[in-house]
Every structure is written in C-alpha cells, then in structure tokens.
Amino acid sequence: MSSSINNEIGFHEASLAEARHLPDGTFCMSFKEVHLRHQLCEATIYLHGVDRILRDGLPLEVFAMEQEDAEVLTLEIRPGCLSVIIEWNDFQRHLQTTASYSFFCSSVTIETR
C-alpha cells in the first residue's frame, strides 16, 4: 500500500463483511462502506505472514467473526502490524461488544473496488 492511498482511505464506520484464511496462508478481511477519495467503496485487506494476533492485549489463536454485524471504529496500518477496534452488534439480543485487535504480520496490502 502506498502512503498516498493510506491518506485517502478511511475505515471509520466501515462494516467488516468477512474474514477468512486463503490457501496460501494469507489472512484477508473484506469491508463495505470504506471511504476512498470522498466516495464509498469495498476493500479487502490482505495480511501476509501473520504470526501473532492479540484481542484486547491477549493472545488469540484464530480471528473469527463474533457477530454478523461488525463496525470498524478505528483501523491503523503500520509496518508489520494492523490494529483495529471493532464494535460487534447482536441486534436480536440487543448486545454490543467492542474489542481491539492487533495482527502482527510481514506485510499488508489493500485492494479496493
């Protein structure tokens, strides 16, 4: 990801639609309603070589969708790390949970559409 696109893309209030492992070991997260150059788009973040995941500072074996509705509050990409705070919503039971995640990896790429 170039620094110019990093300044033009925003994930605040985007929806995490899917999170999955690809056959080559890459972990990907797909988002809807991402802000890119003053327009809404979809985006997928690819995390290559993930070696550690933390949830609220504690080790997490596997990241999985905790609820069907997941809203991004913050998302930051730094060299070797993606940090995201997600608000999980269960509308049927009127429950809401917020958690922070840190993914430590060799590299991060973003694809927008």
Cα–Cα distance between 104 and 30 in angstroms, integer? 18
Is 28:44 a contact under the CB 8 Å cutoff? yes
pTM above 0.95, yes or no: no
Count how many domains the chain has.
Answer: 1
Quick: pLDDT tens for 68-82: 899 999 999 999 999
Residue 89: which domain range? 3-112
Residue 15 pairs in a beta bridge with: 32, 71
Quick: pLDDT tens for 17-43: 999 999 998 999 999 999 998 899 999
Residues whose CB falls within 8 Å of the CB of residue 83, separated by 6 or more in sequence, listed in order? 74, 75, 76, 100, 101, 102, 103
Quick: pLDDT tens for 74-106: 999 999 999 999 999 998 999 999 999 999 999
Is 68:24 a contact under the CB 8 Å cutoff? no
User: What does the pLDDT read at residue 98?
Assistant: 98
> What secondary structure letter does DSSP report for 13?
T
How wide is the angle at C-alpha 57 spanned by C-alphas 52 and 60, nearest 5°? 45
Which two tokens mark 63?
């990241």
